[in-house]
Structure 1
Amino acid sequence: MAIPNDLSVFNSTSSPYLTTGISNVSFAPCTDWTPISMTTVIPTVYSIICVLGTTANILAVSVLAQANTSRRTVANTFMLNLCVSDLLFLLSLPLWAVYYSRGYSWPFGRVACKICGLLLHFNLYASIFFITSMSIDRYLAIVHPFRSQSARNPKRARLTCVLVWALAFVCSAPTLALRDTRYIMNFSVEACVILYPTHTWYMSLVLMKIILAFLLPLIIISCCYYAIGRHLVAGTWPIRMQNSSPSSSMPSFKSTESHQSSCKPERPPTPCVNPSSSSDRPMQGRGVERVLWTVAAVVLAFFFCWFPFHCVTFMDVLTSEGWLDGCWVTWTIHNLTPLTLCLGFSNSAINPMLYCFIGNHFRGRLSGFCKGLCACLKSRGDDHNQKRSSFSTRLSSFSRKLSDLKDLAIVEPTGPS
């Protein structure tokens, strides 16, 4: 593996992701552009993301893993795997925080450098692949509930998860092979970097990351949720018109997926009407708006978390090809790469909030889980208090008996002389 001689564009320590290692362009010193100090900002942000993301994902995994096999849906299967992937990544964040706080000096050794680099890239691909799978599943469940019945089952969902894990590992395997620790003499640090053998390797892997980990999933997710939003609006608009008419009655509509048996098979697009049920309400007004806002939040969170990072990555590609030049380009790549990575990493903390905690069903199960946990802790505390009180009772009883024995020894009469 060739060690680069030109490190004028030092992306190899400014980011655990962007690591050119080979620079075709030499820049003049940009004295007017003051660099941003990352030794305090990045560790602080990483620590916040690690604490919040770990807490949210552990709660989500605890609730999802306790579901019975018969109750584990396709969406729950994808969500459980997504939370596990995010947790694996979040465990490596404290090491990267130390890396930045030490001025890009890696103190944990070569093996930890490779593993942490693998986890970063693995989560980059796996989380986005799982989000894409969940988006496709929601599209099939809402837009094509009848035709997708045979395809949407937990067994196939588990098989899809296995394929996602395998594909994410294949995409991140080059990082495991190329990442290593190198002593950078110009900066006097032992850095955890990726050193690409040739410029072709760099271009291929970076373009693969942009296309497979951002552009293609974004197109699929946007198309799925656009179709979902269009289907919901088209399906609820006639209901709104009926409810707005003074002569029309107020029928009650249930979801198409939950009342498959009451629907006529020859007219699957028609919603099922159950006038006798008074407990359900038509999906209208705030209900439709809430679903649409949730759908929009998923797409926007994915876009705003990862779009800035991939923009900076693409700028680095253009710079390496000589198509961009200047001090502002150098400053942007060096300083905004770690900051945009922080924004991308925050998606791991946002995912469980979007997919789990917004839903009423999940919040009810989380509330039950927390109540059960509190009851368990309370019962253990009561048992401990009972054991302490029982021990105190026995100790006081023993003390009284010992005192009585002493009194008897004192007043015991002596025998005749």
Structure 2
Amino acid sequence: MAIPNELSLFNASSAPYSPTELPGYLNTSMVPSAPHCPDWPNLPQTTLIPSLYSIICVLGTVGNALAVCVLAHGSGARRTIANTFMLNLCVSDLLFLLTLPLWAVYYSLGYHWPFGRVACKICGGLLNLNLYASIFFITCMSMDRYLAIVHPLRSQSARHPKRARLTCVLVWVLACASTVPTLALRDTHHIEHLGVEACVILYPHDKWFLVLAWMKIILAFLLPLVVISSCYCAIGRHLLAGTELGGICKPFEPSNLPSLPGSKSLESQESCSKAERPPTPCVNPSSCGGRPLECRGLERVLWTVAAVVLAFFLCWFPFHCVTLLDVLRTQGWVSGCWVDWSITSLFPLTICLGFSNSAINPVLYCFMGNHFRGRLGGLCKGLCACLKARGEAHSQKRGSFSTRLSSFSRKLSDLKDLAIVEASGPA
């Protein structure tokens, strides 16, 4: 017996109805408000969710498109390991963001999918693909930064552009493999009592729902969160330990650090004692009275590290919490009006918050970096220069055409005058 369900509540409806009235067994994740909880308010999802999706789509598409243009048009020397991961992350986010207008229409029409079965499968597949791929790429970037900063010498052989490209291929394969089950199970499903054709996941058995839900919680959140937090904690300890020891640091080289915004990369601790210029002491940020350049750079690195982890946690933690709550309710371990209301009303909002991570990623990983902003400015200047050159060429062509037309008009006028003189002359 097919079980229509959807963790992200793309199947939810704002009208209360009993799940037992629907064909087959319908998990109550689809029910926004249980009949025995009339005092719990329903959120205006048909207007709120499309508005949020539209904002995320516009901001995320512009940000990721600019990032892709800059990263893809960079010279070979600038195609670092971090830029490779960033480019793939932006492509993953862009593919998903392009489907958001369809999901916005889906919600605005009262959860009716007018785009057909194929579009339902493609949009649902891209949704799950981005869920896994974006988090996997963020994890890879975190590990690469850990190796580049904490173990710069030992990781030189491992951190190779070819290996980074191979890692990206493996990430895409793993993300696609994780998406296959939901892609196969997703389909359009007619809900007779609501009069809508919903885009849902039809689970053959409730065990499918539990397995896929736990897979999302573990693979798409818990494991990446542990890895990311461990990497950035190690980076923070390493940087702070260097300052507490009062080491002498060579100026960071930005080409070696995986594009950590506002940061400069470490070559090695050994290079600290071999600085080619007079060494500058690495001071503790808390004791910076004059705020030298090294101190401000270190503070920016640490704040960026904290922002990356915090953004990932805040964007996805609510979604996976509600997912876990839905699993517990399905098993009968929790129940009540607050559980039903939380799942049916908060799930769409938490998935919006998760989707907003696609708009935040280019800001955290690209636009906060000085070198990225410089390359973006150079790209914009080149584009403006190209447009200006085209305008001048067009103006010259138009001026040349006007000159030729004026010359032709003068010649024609001269011919007319000559004809008049000849006509008025003696016979």
For normalisation by structure 1, the TM-score amounts to 0.88
Mean alpha-carbon deviation: is it higher for 356-365 or for 290-299? 356-365
- What are the superposed Cα offsets for residues 196-234 of structure 1, whole Å, 9 maximum, x if unpaired? 110000000010000000000000000000000000000
Mean alpha-carbon deviation: is it higher for 389-398 or for 30-39? 389-398
Judged with a 3 Å threshold, the aligned counterparts in structure 2 of structure 1 residues 10 and 343 are, in CA distance, closer, same or farther, namely closer
- Report what 1:89 is aligned to: 96
Mean alpha-carbon deviation: is it higher for 368-377 or for 406-415? 406-415
The 1-side partners of 2:3 and 2:376 are apart by: 52
What one-letter code is carried by the residue in structure 2 that aligns with 1:321?
Q
- What are the superposed Cα offsets for residues 15-39 of structure 1, whole Å, 9 maximum, x if unpaired? 9xxxx97438995432111211111
The 2-side partners of 1:24 and 1:414 are apart by: 102
Q: Secondary structure at the match of 2:342?
A: helix
- What are the superposed Cα offsets for residues 222-268 of structure 1, whole Å, 9 maximum, x if unpaired? 000000000000012233xx7xxxxxxxx662348989xxxxxxxx6
Judged with a 3 Å threshold, the aligned counterparts in structure 2 of structure 1 residues 24 and 339 are, in CA distance, closer, same or farther, namely closer
Q: Secondary structure at the match of 1:272?
A: helix
- Report what 2:300 is aligned to: 290
5 Å-filtered alignment, 1:203-352, equals: 203-239=210-246, 253-255=250-252, 269-274=269-274, 276-277=276-277, 284-352=294-362
The 1-side partners of 2:357 and 2:94 are apart by: 12
The alpha-carbon deviation at position 349 of structure 1 amounts to 0.8
What one-letter code is carried by the residue in structure 2 that aligns with 1:14?
A
Match of 1:14 among 2, 12, 15: 12
Match of 1:42 among 15, 31, 49: 49
Judged with a 3 Å threshold, the aligned counterparts in structure 2 of structure 1 residues 393 and 10 are, in CA distance, closer, same or farther, namely closer
1:400 has 2:410 as partner: yes
5 Å-filtered alignment, 1:19-98, equals: 22-23=26-27, 28-98=35-105
The 1-side partners of 2:300 and 2:232 are apart by: 14
What one-letter code is carried by the residue in structure 2 that aligns with 1:49?
I
The 2-side partners of 1:331 and 1:409 are apart by: 94
Gaps of 5+ in 1: 243-250, 260-267
Judged with a 3 Å threshold, the aligned counterparts in structure 2 of structure 1 residues 319 and 91 are, in CA distance, closer, same or farther, namely same
The alpha-carbon deviation at position 280 of structure 1 amounts to 7.8
The alpha-carbon deviation at position 272 of structure 1 amounts to 2.0
The alpha-carbon deviation at position 400 of structure 1 amounts to 2.0
- Report what 1:367 is aligned to: 377
- Report what 1:355 is aligned to: 365
Match of 2:161 among 154, 157, 164: 154
Q: Secondary structure at the match of 1:34?
A: coil
Match of 1:134 among 129, 141, 149: 141
Aligned pair count?
A: 392
For normalisation by structure 2, the TM-score amounts to 0.86
Judged with a 3 Å threshold, the aligned counterparts in structure 2 of structure 1 residues 237 and 280 are, in CA distance, closer, same or farther, namely closer
The 2-side partners of 1:279 and 1:87 are apart by: 44
Match of 1:119 among 98, 106, 126: 126
- What are the superposed Cα offsets for residues 254-303 of structure 1, whole Å, 9 maximum, x if unpaired? 348989xxxxxxxx644423555269885742221110000000000000
- Report what 1:102 is aligned to: 109
What one-letter code is carried by the residue in structure 1 that aligns with 2:139?
T
Q: Secondary structure at the match of 1:195?
A: strand
- Report what 2:286 is aligned to: none
Mean alpha-carbon deviation: is it higher for 358-367 or for 303-312? 358-367
The 1-side partners of 2:25 and 2:220 are apart by: 22
Q: Secondary structure at the match of 2:155?
A: coil
What one-letter code is carried by the residue in structure 2 that aligns with 1:286?
R
What one-letter code is carried by the residue in structure 1 that aligns with 2:305?
V
Judged with a 3 Å threshold, the aligned counterparts in structure 2 of structure 1 residues 275 and 325 are, in CA distance, closer, same or farther, namely closer
The 1-side partners of 2:318 and 2:109 are apart by: 25
Judged with a 3 Å threshold, the aligned counterparts in structure 2 of structure 1 residues 401 and 98 are, in CA distance, closer, same or farther, namely same
- Report what 2:21 is aligned to: none
- Report what 2:261 is aligned to: none
The 1-side partners of 2:56 and 2:238 are apart by: 36
1:377 has 2:387 as partner: yes
- What are the superposed Cα offsets for residues 315-343 of structure 1, whole Å, 9 maximum, x if unpaired? 11111111111111111111111111111
Contact persistence 1:183–1:191 (CA under 8 A):
yes
Q: Secondary structure at the match of 1:412?
A: helix
Contact persistence 1:181–1:193 (CA under 8 A):
yes
The alpha-carbon deviation at position 362 of structure 1 amounts to 1.3
The two structures, once aligned, show a CA RMSD in angstroms of 2.6
Judged with a 3 Å threshold, the aligned counterparts in structure 2 of structure 1 residues 258 and 34 are, in CA distance, closer, same or farther, namely closer
Judged with a 3 Å threshold, the aligned counterparts in structure 2 of structure 1 residues 347 and 97 are, in CA distance, closer, same or farther, namely same
Q: Secondary structure at the match of 2:42?
A: coil
The alpha-carbon deviation at position 367 of structure 1 amounts to 1.1
Mean alpha-carbon deviation: is it higher for 276-285 or for 174-183? 276-285
